[in-house]
Amino acid sequence: MAEDPFELIERRMARLEKRFREILKEGLAPTWDLSERTLEPLHEVHEFENEVVVTADLPCVRDKQDLEVHCTENSLEIRARMCHPVSFRRWGTVQREADFECYRKVIPLPAEVDPEKAKADFKGGILTIRLPRLVRRHKIRVL
C-alpha cells in the first residue's frame, strides 16, 4: 500500500527540525573535550543522487587499524586514535597544556543510507566513506 503523503511530509519535517537544532548546537559548542582528550575532526558531507559521501580530515592518524567507524541509516560515528598526542601549550583561558589523543564525531546524515553497503578508504590522513542511499520503492496504483 502506498505511504500516506502527509505522514511522509511530517516525518521529513521532524527530521529537518532535528537537523536545525543540531546545527544551532554545533555553532557555539567547542570542538574538543578535555576530559576525554578528544577533538572533533573537520568533515564534509556531500549528498548525491545515489549516495552520501562523507570525508574527514584526521591528521596524526597513521594506520587504518586506529580507525573505528560505525554507521546507522541516519548517522555515522568516527573514532580515531592519533599516533602521538597533540599538545596545545598555554592554551586558551585554561592557560595550561592540553593534550589530545583521539578524534570523535557523530555526523548526522542528510538522507537514509544502507550501512551494510558502505565502503571506506583512508589516504593521506583523509577518511572517505561512501554510503549508498537507501531506496524505498512504493508501488503507485493508477486509477
**Residue indicated by cell numbers 503523503:** 5
Q: Which residues 9-28 are close enough to bind other proteins by CB under 8 A?
A: none
Task: Point out which span in 6-14, 33-41, 63-71, 129-137 binds other proteins (CB under 8 A).
Answer: 33-41
45 binds other proteins (CB under 8 A): no
CA pair distance 62, 46, nearest whole angstrom: 25
39 binds other proteins (CB under 8 A): yes
Q: What are 135's three cell numbers? A: 531506496
CA pair distance 122, 124, nearest whole angstrom: 7
State the Cα angle at 130 between 128 and 134, rounded to 5°. 155
Q: What are 47's three cell numbers? A: 549528498
CB of 11 to other proteins, least distance (A): 28
Count CA atoms within 13 Å of residue 19 on its CB side. 13
Q: How many residues line the site for other proteins (CB under 8 A)? A: 17
86 binds other proteins (CB under 8 A): yes
Closer to other proteins at the Cβ: 42 or 111? Answer: 42
Q: How many residues does the chain have?
A: 143
Tell which one of 41, 54, 113, 131 touches other proteins (CB under 8 A): 41
80 binds other proteins (CB under 8 A): no
Residues lying near other proteins in the complex (CB under 8 A) are found at 31, 39-42, 44, 57, 59-60, 86, 88, 100, 123-126, 128
